[in-house]
Structure 1
Amino acid sequence: MASEGKIKHLIRLIQEGRLSHLKEEMCKDEDGRAAVLKGRFGRSGDTVLHYAARHGRLEILKYLVDELGTNIELVNSDYKRALHEAASMGHRECTRYLIAKGARVDCLKKADWTPLMMACTRKNLEVVKDLIESGASLSLKNKDGWSSFHIACRVGDPEMIQYLLRVSSAVWDVESKINRTPLHTAAMHGHLEATELLLERCGYKPDAKDSCGVTPFMDAVQNGHVEIAKLLLEKHKEGHAGTIETLLTLGADVYARDAKGRSALHMACAGQHSKCIRQLIAAGLTDSTDDSGTLASHLLKKPEALKVLDDFTGCK
């Protein structure tokens, strides 16, 4: 029976991609070879295929599968397969090899994650393309109701988002189990360019609420993404008076400023949103300058917005 030290040595050779040494050790130690090929190691219960795929060792994958007959559908403790590993780490050649050998392209690991979902967690556009062109489904969701498009929007890569929209023009029309849209996700994680793209290309309502009543605007403000909050305000012609009221109730920081020193009052004034201006001043936010020396009140143009100044002396 192979010792623990021997098995660790063989696994290390796989991780390091030392194929010739691995073959030599496997040939002279049948017990070690059998133990390594059949074993599951570490806390995750990984197999030799998991190690090879995770580290992008294509030649070792070929050796294990083509020469030693290792089953490409072996799972670890989380039901993750080698294809999950290769896709999530962006190892394109390993991904393509496993698919060519018949790996199930929509196999599920724990929590119902597919290889495509895992590829979308990183900026692995080429791997994403390979999976989709091999039949990977964009409609599948994980246990939380997240689709691959949700996950791509969490990463916020505009190129990947555009590609997925080209593949399926309706891919955006999806919600998680708590009614969160990919727009919520992009706004929450501060991806301005992705948010702009979603608002331009998709049919999202900027004030759409999830099951807890949270809108993309609220996600942006609560996470300090002021530019995204401004963008969402501009897209909502009537302003977000109801949203601001909810945010204030939740204890949001009314004094938060963006990188240019602009407050929420600057943004409300720039958008001529009278109700928002009134609420922000009532909450204690006073007129002040941004980093360029511009007062929020300098941005007012519409008569109904200018009239707000007459009601609150603190903003004169």
Structure 2
Amino acid sequence: MSPPAGSEEMDLDKFYWAVEKGDVQIVRRGLEAGVDVNVKRDWRHWNDSTPLHVASKYGQTEVAELLIEHKAEVDARAELLQSTPLHWAALMGRTGTCELLIRHGADVMARNKLSVLNPPLLTLTFPPVQIQNTPLHRAALEGHTGTCELLIRHGADVMARAKLYELKVRRHNNGSQC
């Protein structure tokens, strides 16, 4: 995409660094220069993350709001683990960012492919094993009570279970030794 007249093209690395560090001015300039707000790319060790994933993980709420104003998808999925920006914000205890995402329609019951018992290596080795955590699982895992309370107030199901738990219960009820 060509940048608008009078603006300069922005390098995606510079843009992603600005998102991570919360530099609203550089992010705004990048968006004005034509950076796709929903671009997916590998950033550090994350696969196919959008700028909103990065802002959410680092709690850059002001940047996240700017991205959403420019039509960032609040429920965008990162490819490998299918995590949403809300998963990342919840895991990191970024309650303010969670609140922003929820206010803009983020799905508090979105499920990814990761759990405590399903690290990325297991996901790569055994793709059919899809545990599917919700943002509430991620926040609880790290002990972020304020974030948990926020998610519950906005409809997160406290009884939701990760798929592996359900599989183990079924096997146990059928007499299996798993």
Task: Tell me the equivalent position of 1:87.
Answer: 90
Residues in 2 aligned to 1:178 and 1:57: alpha-carbon distance in whole angstroms = 43
Residues in 2 aligned to 1:16 and 1:177: alpha-carbon distance in whole angstroms = 45
Task: Tell me the equivalent position of 1:133.
Answer: 153
**2:64 corresponds to 1:64:** no
C-alpha spacing 1:176/1:126, structure 2 compared with 1 (3 Å): farther
**TM-score normalised according to structure 1 size:** 0.43
Residues in 2 aligned to 1:71 and 1:55: alpha-carbon distance in whole angstroms = 17
Q: Which runs of 4+ in 1 moved over 3 A?
A: 175-179
Gaps of 5+ in 1: 147-174, 180-209, 213-316
Map residues 93-108 of structure 1 onto 2, 5 A cutoff: 93-108=96-111
* 1:178 Cα deviation after fit: 5.6
* 1:133 Cα deviation after fit: 1.2
**2:64 corresponds to 1:44:** no
Task: Tell me the equivalent position of 1:187.
Answer: none
| SS of residue in 1 equivalent to 2:41 | coil
Q: Which has the higher contact order (CA 8 A, sep 6+)?
A: 2
Answer whether contact 2:91 2:139 (CA < 8 A) is retained: yes
Residues in 1 aligned to 2:12 and 2:154: alpha-carbon distance in whole angstroms = 35
Indicate the RMSD between aligned Cα atoms, in angstroms: 2.2
Structure number with greater Rg is 1
| SS of residue in 1 equivalent to 2:11 | helix
Q: How many residues align?
A: 147
1:239-282 deviation per Cα after TM superposition (whole angstroms, max 9, x unaligned): xxxxxxxxxxxxxxxxxxxxxxxxxxxxxxxxxxxxxxxxxxxx
C-alpha spacing 1:176/1:48, structure 2 compared with 1 (3 Å): farther
Answer whether contact 1:45 1:76 (CA < 8 A) is retained: yes
User: Partner letter of residue 132 of structure 1?
Assistant: I
- Counterpart pick for 1:118 among 104, 128, 138: 138
Map residues 221-232 of structure 1 onto 2, 5 A cutoff: none
* 1:83 Cα deviation after fit: 0.6
- Counterpart pick for 1:19 among 10, 18, 24: 24
**TM-score normalised according to structure 2 size:** 0.74
Answer whether contact 2:24 2:63 (CA < 8 A) is retained: yes
Residues in 1 aligned to 2:23 and 2:169: alpha-carbon distance in whole angstroms = 44
C-alpha spacing 1:137/1:39, structure 2 compared with 1 (3 Å): same
Task: Tell me the equivalent position of 2:11.
Answer: 6
Answer whether contact 1:144 1:177 (CA < 8 A) is retained: no
| SS of residue in 1 equivalent to 2:156 | coil
Residues in 2 aligned to 1:103 and 1:37: alpha-carbon distance in whole angstroms = 15
Residues in 2 aligned to 1:79 and 1:129: alpha-carbon distance in whole angstroms = 24
Identical residues among aligned pairs (%) = 22
* 1:65 Cα deviation after fit: 0.3
C-alpha spacing 1:108/1:80, structure 2 compared with 1 (3 Å): same
Answer whether contact 2:38 2:73 (CA < 8 A) is retained: no
Answer whether contact 1:14 1:52 (CA < 8 A) is retained: yes
Map residues 97-246 of structure 1 onto 2, 5 A cutoff: 97-110=100-113, 111-145=131-165, 176=169, 179=172, 211=177
Gaps of 5+ in 2: 3-9, 114-130
Residues in 1 aligned to 2:18 and 2:170: alpha-carbon distance in whole angstroms = 43
C-alpha spacing 1:132/1:65, structure 2 compared with 1 (3 Å): same
* 1:38 Cα deviation after fit: 2.5
1:195-224 deviation per Cα after TM superposition (whole angstroms, max 9, x unaligned): xxxxxxxxxxxxxxx945xxxxxxxxxxxx
